[in-house]
């Protein structure tokens, strides 16, 4: 194989991604369904990049704009070609060939955009076999127990490959064949160009089959070979939600095992999901029911879970996140989050901080050692160092038209059930009383209170809720008090 750091000028990859994927029963194009945080076609493009091909061409049609946009994001150097009204894989490859330089004189690897687990090492071996045999075409096959739905590899008495027959065109004897076509090929470009022009659409589906090229090359006396894979799951395509789930579980098991071997403790691999773009350090511990999604990074010694989802987050060393959900959040070293916390985008918790039970944060920067322990909403807020936000605090950041910010200084102590009506600033070292609604700035070191005098209206329940259980209980309590007072008076009278 060529040096992977240098593009192979004699290698091109054509990715077939034009299919509608009707069995997915989805408005989304099949190749855009996510797998370990990456669209199906993203896995295929990553494999194509690992092959170091000089040219990558993708052929699209269904949900064309969405698929093309995804390709541009995942692999900007790939060429996008639109499939026309002529159906079939043969036509798709024909159009893909047209996008290559006219003087290209090498090998074409053809892969499907819905086969995400096919790896570059397998394709490299296929390419080596093709080149070593000086073949006109080499395809990847597999021996399976149930070949239903797949094209069959037809060999002659000597075992040499002759052709491929599709399921709908196969005879009963051909249907009994268990060697299947994976839909992955290597072609010499000259033979492919010549024979594609001879392929018609006289078949059960009325399509221009790429598989017909194999028979035409064989009949022309050119070498065609089929190389079986050791593990059939490598070539499995995703055509429906059942296959998507099965493929996701297999890939996740490989990802989890890889991180375990790299020094990550995963208590329950069956309920732990880790996306491909996530990065975990040694001595990270993942508890059951945890999903590490997107480009999340977790530093050494952090403990995540159980029942926790982190999407595109950054977690520092020795942090603990328990039964919580966070998106686009930064959690500092030594900090604790949860249980049952909800960190929305823009949350930044500095080292040794705390976002506690039933706390929601959004666009909140919470300083080192500061705590929001429980039952609070902190949005569009900056908190300094060493401050403590009392239970039940709300930053009222929205006036019905615009969002406003709250600033809480360092070493502030706020009382329970406070409301900060933004925009407002609480100075360093300030305190606030329980139940306070803060509508104007609090100077450093001040105590903010706005408590009205408490009034107790005696007899209100008996007068206004007569006949209720509350009134009966109040009356009984009043009688007990009066009886006790009478006893005291009697005792005093005997002295």
Three-state secondary-structure class, residue 261: helix
Residue with tokens 């699209």: 60
| Cα within 13 Å of Cα(493), Cβ side | 6
With residues binned 3-state (H G I as helix, E B as strand, rest as coil), the percentages for the chain, rounded to 5, are: 25, 30, 45
End-to-end CA distance of the chain: 113
Quote the CA–CA distance of 31 and 19 in Å, as a whole number: 9
Quote the CA–CA distance of 184 and 112 in Å, as a whole number: 7
Distances (CA, A) of 406 to 65, 78, 421: 42, 47, 8
Quote the CA–CA distance of 444 and 432 in Å, as a whole number: 11
- What is the secondary structure of 181-221 as a DSSP string? EEEEEEEEHHHHHHHHTT----STT----THHHHHHHHHTT
Residues sharing a CB contact under 8 Å with residue 440, sequence separation 6 or more, in sequence order: 424
Residue with tokens 């160009």: 193
Quote the CA–CA distance of 185 and 268 in Å, as a whole number: 39
Quote the CA–CA distance of 93 and 328 in Å, as a whole number: 41
Say if CB 174 and CB 165 are below 8 A apart.
yes
Query: Which member of 43, 55, 291, 374 is catalytic?
Result: 374
Beta bridge partners of 406: 381, 424
Residues sharing a CB contact under 8 Å with residue 259, sequence separation 6 or more, in sequence order: 266, 274, 280
Say if CB 338 and CB 358 are below 8 A apart.
no
Residue 306 in tokens: 């159980």
Three-state secondary-structure class, residue 416: coil
DSSP 235: G
Beta-strand pair 34-35/38-39:
antiparallel
Active site residue 404: no
H helices of 294-376, in order, are: none
| Cα within 13 Å of Cα(296), Cβ side | 28
Three-state secondary-structure class, residue 137: strand
Q: Which sequence positions are flagged as catalytic? A: 374
């Amino acid at each position: 194989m060529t040096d992977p750091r240098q593009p192979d000028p004699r290698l091109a990859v054509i990715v077939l991604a034009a299919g509608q994927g009707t069995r997915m029963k989805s408005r989304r194009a099949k190749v855009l369904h996510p797998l370990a945080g990456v669209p199906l076609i993203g896995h295929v493009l990553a494999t194509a990049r690992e092959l170091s091909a000089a040219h990558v061409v993708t052929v699209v049609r269904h949900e064309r704009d969405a698929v093309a946009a995804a390709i541009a994001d995942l692999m900007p150097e790939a060429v996008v070609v639109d499939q026309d009204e002529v159906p079939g894989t043969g036509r798709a490859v024909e159009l893909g060939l047209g996008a290559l330089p006219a003087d290209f004189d090498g090998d074409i690897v053809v892969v499907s955009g819905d086969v995400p687990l096919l790896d570059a090492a397998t394709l490299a071996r296929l390419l080596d076999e093709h080149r070593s045999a000086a073949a006109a075409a080499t395809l990847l096959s597999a021996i399976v127990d149930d070949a239903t739905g797949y094209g069959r590899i037809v060999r002659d008495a000597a075992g040499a490959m002759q052709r491929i027959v599709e399921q709908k065109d196969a005879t009963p004897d051909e249907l009994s064949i268990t060697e299947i076509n994976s839909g992955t090929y290597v072609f010499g470009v000259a033979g492919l160009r010549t024979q594609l022009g001879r392929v018609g659409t006289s078949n059960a589906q009325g399509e221009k089959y790429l598989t017909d090229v194999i028979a035409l090359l064989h009949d022309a006396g050119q070498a065609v070979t089929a190389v079986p894979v050791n593990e059939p799951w490598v070539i499995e395509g995703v055509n429906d939600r059942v296959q998507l789930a099965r493929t996701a579980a297999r890939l996740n098991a490989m990802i989890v095992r890889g991180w375990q071997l790299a020094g990550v403790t995963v208590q329950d691999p069956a309920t732990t999901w880790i996306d491909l773009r996530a990065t975990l350090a040694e001595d990270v511990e993942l508890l059951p029911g945890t999903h590490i999604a997107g480009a999340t990074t977790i530093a050494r010694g952090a403990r995540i879970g159980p029942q926790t989802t982190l999407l595109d987050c950054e977690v520092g060393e020795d942090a603990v996140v328990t039964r919580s959900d966070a998106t686009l959040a930064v959690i500092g070293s030594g900090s604790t989050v949860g249980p049952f916390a909800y960190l929305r985008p823009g949350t930044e918790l500095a080292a040794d901080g705390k976002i506690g039970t039933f706390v929601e944060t959004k666009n909140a920067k919470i300083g080192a050692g500061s705590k929001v322990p429980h039952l609070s909403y902190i949005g569009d807020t900056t908190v300094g160092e060493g401050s403590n936000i009392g239970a039940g605090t709300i930053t009222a950041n929205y006036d019905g038209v615009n969002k406003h910010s709250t600033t809480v200084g360092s070493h502030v102590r706020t009382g329970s059930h406070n409301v900060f009506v933004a925009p407002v600033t609480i100075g360093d070292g300030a305190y606030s009383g329980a139940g306070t609604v803060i509508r104007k700035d609090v100077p450093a070191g001040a105590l903010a209170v706005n408590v009205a005098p408490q009034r107790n209206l005696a007899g209100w329940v008996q007068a206004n809720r007569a006949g209720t259980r509350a009134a009966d209980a109040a009356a009984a309590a009043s009688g007990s008090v009066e009886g006790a007072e009478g006893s005291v008076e009697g005792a005093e009278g005997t002295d």
